[in-house]
Structure 1
């Protein structure tokens, strides 16, 4: 199974973004304990690359990607640290090209149909439609009219409250940030809250007819 297929199967990608590198391993462990098997660590998180290396060495069944990858140089660095997939907030063809060279999929951030088509023509197997907040769950259905082949992840406005609605509208995956990876819980050292958040997300997925 490819990593894109794994993301589609898991459907939920927790997004780890933190200013404190000392707790990254605990955050990853807590999400893993809650059932996360696909994770994103953003590149603007201090210690992101070391955390990716550690996670890959610790959990063979954990698929971990690097997020906020803005250019080809960052892409290569993340890949050499063990990232299995890369996510970006923007579309950069050279980043996708670098990922393809190493056999690592890049999920670029796009918004318009033009950007979506450019991304897929550059080799992206999946796109991250970001920020989705202003468009809502039905946006993918509109996109699929002229571009039925597009596989898309919704990010930037997806929460535990509306996650099911997105998935019911045919989105292939969703990225969940602070509602799962709660920065306040991290600040007070309450890692069990992250586990509970992840368990809740997985329960909602099951209730909505998801595979997990």
Structure 2
């Protein structure tokens, strides 16, 4: 396509590329306000930012994982281990117990003292484990977490600036959503996964009800998920689930009972198929 003008004008060429669209369930449809069947390939600011950021931090290249790759990996794993503790010196050992028990996707919340150092060290020790950061509330935190090695970012709320930052950094965002409106808002903002949080008194039927009119959502409950109902959440349509206290009981973590944490990890994962 060319735009013409008066004498001495400079023709501007715009290359149009075709990309698949899934109708109303295509994220481009929602984020751009129209079906994403055609995109302008002449301007790619997000890719430019990704390349600039990763060129400044070469260590990110080795373990880089796109949002699509992470979503696929989480869907196959079906569950993640989420650690929130006030005892930073046992954080790595506690998560190691979860990995020995079978978990391959691990999240450290940024409420852990020195959480970035924990993420950095753990991701270097276990390059085959997908490590993410939780409780990401600020754009600066998103950048710092990814630089430390986080390959996905989780938030307790829907903050579109954090979602945008995650997309620019080419990592998956999983904001916390509670209502159907928040879920759709997160999806339209570019979050491929929607964390169900908080969920007091909400059971698996709530997931089923939300997915009825919005089957394109990928809901991930993390609050209220335990040994007895984990399979029910998945059966109701949850894309995956996250284990917090049922896995990392605060008393067990503080007492460094890592063998028991490993046993719990194995038991929780086995419950998904029992």
Normalising by the smaller structure, the TM-score range is over 0.9
The residue number in structure 2 matching 1:62 is 129
Residue 118 of structure 1 pairs with residue 177 of structure 2? no
Residue 26 of structure 1 pairs with residue 93 of structure 2? yes
Structure 1 or 2, whichever has the larger Rg, is 2
Native 8 Å contact 1:15 1:40 kept in 2: yes
- Structure 2: state its 5+ residue gaps: 1-67
Instruction: Determine helix, strand or coil for the equivalent of 2:200.
Output: coil
The residue number in structure 1 matching 2:208 is 141
Return the offset for 1:133: 3.0
> What is the distance in 2 between the residues matched to 1:163 and 1:144?
18
Question: Per-residue CA shift, 1:121-156, capped at 9, x if unaligned?
Answer: 100001001122322101122112221100010121
The residue number in structure 2 matching 1:210 is none
Q: May I ask how many residue pairs the two structures share in their alignment?
A: 207
Instruction: Map 1:59-98 to 2 at 5 A.
Output: 59-98=126-165
Question: Per-residue CA shift, 1:33-70, capped at 9, x if unaligned?
Answer: 11110011000011211111111111121001100111
Native 8 Å contact 1:133 1:158 kept in 2: no
Question: Per-residue CA shift, 1:7-27, capped at 9, x if unaligned?
Answer: 111111111011111111211
Question: Per-residue CA shift, 1:143-178, capped at 9, x if unaligned?
Answer: 122211000101211111111111111111111111
The residue number in structure 1 matching 2:194 is 127
Deviating 4+ runs (over 3 angstroms): none
Instruction: Map 1:1-212 to 2 at 5 A.
Output: 2-207=69-274
Bigger relative contact order (CA 8 A; separation at least 6): 1
What's the TM-score once normalised by structure 1's chain length? 0.94
Native 8 Å contact 2:116 2:148 kept in 1: yes
- Structure 1: state its 5+ residue gaps: 208-212
Question: Per-residue CA shift, 1:79-117, capped at 9, x if unaligned?
Answer: 111100011110000000000001011100011111111
Deviates more, 1:95-104 or 1:43-52: 43-52
Question: CA RMSD for the aligned pairs?
Answer: 1.1
What's the TM-score once normalised by structure 2's chain length? 0.73
Native 8 Å contact 2:194 2:218 kept in 1: yes
